[in-house]
A and B are shown apart, each in its own frame.
Chain A
Amino acid sequence: MKAIIFTSALGILAMISEIIGLKKIILPLLIVGLLLTIGVNIYTEWNYTQVYYGMMLADNYYVAFSTVLLSITVLWLLLSSESYLNEEYNRGDHYALILFSTVGGLLLVSFNNLATLFMGVEILSIPLYILAGSDKNNKYSIEASIKYFLLGSFATGIMLLGIALLYGATGTFDLGLIAQYNAKNMDNTLYYGGTLLLTLSFAFKVSAVPFHFWAPDVYTGAPTFITAFMSAFVKVAAFAGFYHFIQQAYLSIPLPMENTIILLSGATILVGNIAAVYQTDMKRILAFSGIAQAGYLLLLLPIQGELGKSSLLVYLIAYGIANLPAFYVLYKVSRIGGSTNLESFEGLGKKQPILALVLTLSMISLAGLPPAAGFFGKFYLFTLSINNGYLWSVLIAVIGSLISIYYYFKVIIRMYTSTESTTGDSSLSPSLQVYVTLVVLLVSILILGLFPDILVSIGRLL
């Protein structure tokens, strides 16, 4: 609760920063504010489960995932600072929208009432519809914005209908009461209709196949850092929210829902990975890679209990910390090369060894190879899924991972095998704060990959 209030207040501060003359120091202010929020949030809410007015459930799950979400926002603010210094954006407004979106994410991991869920989804999405179109002079950005808005509102509409059906069946919006109803009456068409519609609208938010068509276009059209935010923050928030919903609304996941999710997972893994192979634009590759990663994560949703939660936490953190630096490198390369085509990465290993190293490690982590965090995330996920009886799904996931090696390593090959001899290009050097952030991210990718035990233990307390 405190985190939501603080973050909203910081958002408002960002919005009026230009009027009250704080424009210059708004970024450090926000970062300090968010870090304080994280601290206060952990200090006051950890191990202190509380329901606020029947609308919000602040348990350990909420504390862990709100920490992850707020950290992603902090990292995003740090990494994107260069782009906002260089380009003609209204920084204050952008930061305000990002923070409001963060609030939406926080609601998504804590809702105890379907009304809160709906609010969370809307607060998360509406700022992003605007931000996707914030590159005003670029028609692709406008296209991305409109596409995202239209399809997103359509998905929200489906979610509302689902909520209405659930209300019709159970007579309540409260997740606890729905769970009680679920325990007593297992065969109600209205109820399953609502469940299915909610599942589908979540599938849209996490860009699962066949609801993924918006993702590549929106990711490509939107300004690079907005794409980074969508791909890291929104995916984490949507998955944590989806998991939270299943966990709170059902004592055990209904079989039709489990089958739907497993089916979606297989399709998402295959389509996401195969489509990514044919892309030549790095942004689209990352978009499809995001879709494929969603496929692996879907496997976790039916696995309730402490192990499922810890695996979700590990995987989402690994995904977030690999994705953000990749987008940063993408931004830098597109600044110099003018495009995000794979050709622009040619010879980056010589021009900017540090950026190339960052991208290499991110790709290795996303591909799921040791010693990066992504490996342990995938390994843990596969272990739980096999234990849960999804051996065939895991085999599909393994085939998907193999395909993914192709496109993740395509860019690595480009970076390290340039034919022309180029020397260091200092115009690509990151600024000091970004440099430090990148080093922190790289080290945490390795630490999390080699010593994931603490995180797993935390996950088991949720």
Chain B
Amino acid sequence: MITTFLIGFPLLAALFVYLSGNKLAGKVAVIASLLELAAGISAFLDFNPIIIWNFEQRIEWISNLNIEYYVGMDGISLVLVLLTVLLLPVILITGLLSKLKDTAAFYSLALLMQSALIGVFTAKDVFLFYIFWELALLPIYFICLQWGDENRKATTFKFFIYTLVGSLFMLVAIIYLYLQTPDHSYSMESLYSLRLDSIDQTFVFLAFVLAFGIKMPIFPLHTWQPATYTSAPTAGTMLLSGIMLKMGIYGVIRWVIPITPIALESYGCWVIIAAVIGILYSSILALQQQNYKTLIAYVSIAHVGLIAAGVFSASFIGIQASLIQMFAHGINVVGIFLIIELIVKRTGTLELSKLGGLRHQAPILNVFFLIIVMASIALPLTNGFVGEFMLFVALFQYSPILTAIAGLTIILGAVYMLSSFQKIMLGDVNPNYSHVQDVTLGEALTLVPLIALIIIMGIFPNIVLEQTEASVEMLLQSMQKTVSSIN
């Protein structure tokens, strides 16, 4: 029931927010997202990792085609659902800070998106998964279209077409899988027990990886991403980078690894190579960026590339690492974008050459910013460290050479994050920004929970890892069964 509540409540709230009019919408939406957060935390407290699937619900939906409303949460789902409910209040408050027009529409779209995202992370029927997958796309498309900057028309269009290319081929693959199941079902259990031959697996694998790879995005499917992140409103970019790209990684873990393990074994290495190239490529590009938002977009490609490499290695540690790293990345990237919003609000620009010396006027902002930067370059005792370390371990087991190349990102990451931090915050007092104020109480209250999570998760990573351990093991067992029954 709690799963359905988590999906349904934002949907109802979206309607309510829209009806409450522009003046009240923001507050109503934030309250709704906090209630949702409370529900998410209560689910977390009730969660029992040993029995794998918690809070299941299964209702017939389109019985003629054997389609069910079938949801539930295992550890993997739980982590991402928690991430979604944690981040949404922050994202909505960012929306409040940036003084958007037509706020009612904006907040209800954001809540709709939350509903769809939680649906994606909890669906156990692949048709339902697909519906939520597409539903998550429409709100963010309209958010980018209506509240983006002047380049929004072209960039959002590119983004939209790109993601649809992937998902339509995925739809064909899903239909194909459905027709292969003996009982003609879309349920996860039926798909997991499929024994496809290696050619079928290859095609299904390609279709899925195209869809998920575009969403993440993996090099060379990433070209939509920097422009879209730059032109979207900050709250939209947070939704995209903080939560939405996790849909792609989640999809790989949930569907690709158990259903097409043979193809993964044969072709997974190419995806990992592409991901490693992407890490290096985007790190180098990040060094050259002048716009801080675009820089973070490239950094995001590098971080996600590493997570993708871990997932495609299909090892226990790789998947565990990717889960904790997804959680950490979500918090860090949303933190950075929140800082970006605060800086834009104060200075009106994100060009690194025009910024500088903000530390003098805004010392508290400086501290917050520094902690988040440290977390995103994976300093020990921040949340970024454990995941990144484990990812390198997983990748090392897979291929030491690739690890060495990907490892350059540790150095490059420090260079671009620290040098951009230096250009924005450090240096002499910039006369243009002498009137800049430090963070207000409200802004600080939004940042503090993120900072707290960064540190708590850095010290106690087991909070996440404990929840997912059994589920990941189960997933890998199911994969092993498929592999051994074919060979």
Contact = CB atoms under 8 A, between A and B. Distances in A.
Query: Are A and B co-members of a single complex?
Result: yes
Given A386-B176, A416-B142, A416-B145, A370 B134 contact: yes
Interface in B152-170: 152-153, 156-157, 160-161, 164-165, 168-169
A413 B160 CA distance: 12
B416 interface: no
Contacts of B168: 398, 401-402
Contact of A417 (B62, B138, B146, B172): B146
Contact of A460 (B61, B64, B153, B160): B64
A371 B135 contact: yes
Contacts of B172: 382, 386, 391, 394-395, 398
A371 B131 contact: yes
B152 A398 contact: no
B131 A370 contact: yes
Contacts of B45: none
Interface size class of B (residues with CB under 8 A): 20 to 34
A402 B168 CA distance: 8
A402 B165 CA distance: 7
B64 A456 contact: yes
A313 to B, nearest CB: 12
B9 interface: no
B161 A369 contact: no
A453 interface: yes
Given A386-B176, A394-B172, A402-B168, A380 B65 contact: yes
Contact of B179 (A387, A398, A401): A387
A413 B157 contact: yes
B131 A398 contact: no
B484 interface: no
B171 A417 contact: no
Contact of B138 (A369, A383, A451): A369
B65 to A, nearest CB: 7
B179 A386 contact: yes
A456 B65 contact: yes
A379 interface: yes
B161 A406 contact: yes
A451 to B, nearest CB: 8
Interface string A377-406: 001101100110001001100100110011
Interface string A123-143: 000000000000000000000
Contacts of A395: 172
Contact of B146 (A369, A370, A398, A416): A416
Contacts of A416: 142, 145-146
A310 B62 CA distance: 13
Main secondary structure of the interface of A (DSSP, over half): helix
B192 interface: no
Nearest to A310: B64
A456 B179 contact: no
A413 B175 contact: no
A213 interface: no
A215 interface: no
A309 to B, nearest CB: 13
Interface in B163-193: 164-165, 168-169, 171-172, 175-176, 178-179
Nearest to B62: A453
B64 A383 contact: no
A405 B161 CA distance: 7
Nearest to B134: A370
Contacts of A451: 61-62
B60 to A, nearest CB: 8
Interface string A16-48: 000000000000000000000000000000000
Contacts of B160: 405, 409
A457 interface: yes
Given A386-B175, A413-B145, A417-B146, A402 B62 contact: no
B178 A402 contact: no
A394 B169 CA distance: 10
Contact of A413 (B153, B164, B178): B153
Contacts of A453: 61-64
A456 B62 CA distance: 9
Contact of A370 (B61, B135, B169): B135
A452 interface: yes
A156 B389 CA distance: 74
Interface in B281-339: none
B65 A369 contact: no
Interface in A168-208: none
A364 interface: yes
Contacts of A310: 64
Contact of B164 (A394, A402, A452): A402
17 contacts: A364-B138, A369-B134, A371-B135, A379-B175, A382-B171, A382-B172, A383-B175, A386-B179, A391-B172, A391-B176, A395-B172, A402-B165, A413-B156, A417-B146, A451-B61, A451-B62, A453-B61
Given A394-B172, A453-B63, 6 more contacts: A370-B135, A398-B172, A402-B165, A405-B160, A405-B161, A417-B146
The 9 A-B pairs of least Cβ separation, nearest first, read A456-B64, A453-B62, A370-B134, A370-B131, A398-B168, A383-B175, A416-B146, A386-B175, A416-B145
